[in-house]
Amino acid sequence: MNIKLQHIQMIRSHAESTYPEECCGIILGYLENHTKTVVEIIPTENAWSAESANFAPNTERSETSRYAIAPQDMLQIQKSARDKSLNIIGIYHSHPDNPAIPSECDRQYAWPAYSYIIVSVQNGQAGELLSWSLNDQHQFQPETIDTINLAT
């Protein structure tokens, strides 16, 4: 994945601003020669409280350990991406006081074509940031992140 340092900073800042809850957002860009290039990061509200009924029952979870993007936000961003000739290429979210490693819940609800950037936030400070994608067995594999300079 190619991403500008500015986008990584946006994700880190969003994660710190929502601590101790998980942040989430959508990654827009394009795929060329099997490499995803990030063009835009769109922070979204963590809609877990409103959307949790659409996921497997787990009443002990909250925004501190789960995230959801409201379907209407996803649709609006998808339309906006189409207007810009971009695609949704991934989702990012944070793991407050946990490593930047996907959870089983992350794996269950992940979509094969997307990249998943996870940032660890320890005591309110963004730390390790990793990207993951699914293999053919629906298991997460680490994805290389290369920082790039693109015209804004």
Q: Are strands 87-96 and 115-122 parallel, antiparallel or unpaired?
A: parallel
Instruction: Judge whether 110 and 134 are in contact, CB under 8 Å.
Output: yes
pTM confidence score: 0.91
Note whether residue 65 is domain-resident. Answer: no
Note whether residue 58 is domain-resident. Answer: no
Give the Cα separation of 111 and 97 in Å (integer): 25
What range defines the domain where residue 27 resides? 2-49+74-147
The tokens for 139 are 């298991």
Note whether residue 12 is domain-resident. Answer: yes
Note whether residue 118 is domain-resident. Answer: yes
Q: Work out the pLDDT band at 135, boundaries 50, 70, 90.
A: very high
How does the average pLDDT of the chain come out, rounded? Answer: 92
Domain count, the chain: 1
Residue 129 has pLDDT above 90, yes or no: yes
- 3 state SS for 27-65: EEEEEECCEEEEEEEEEECCCHHHHHHHCCCCCCCCCCC
Higher pLDDT, 75 or 50: 75
Note whether residue 56 is domain-resident. Answer: no
Note whether residue 119 is domain-resident. Answer: yes
- Residue range 69-118, pLDDT digits in tens: 999 999 999 999 999 999 999 999 999 999 999 999 899 999 999 999 99
Q: Please compute the mean of the pLDDT values over residues 54-60 and round it to a whole number.
A: 62
Q: Say which CATH number the domain at 139 has.
A: 3.40.140.10
Note whether residue 59 is domain-resident. Answer: no
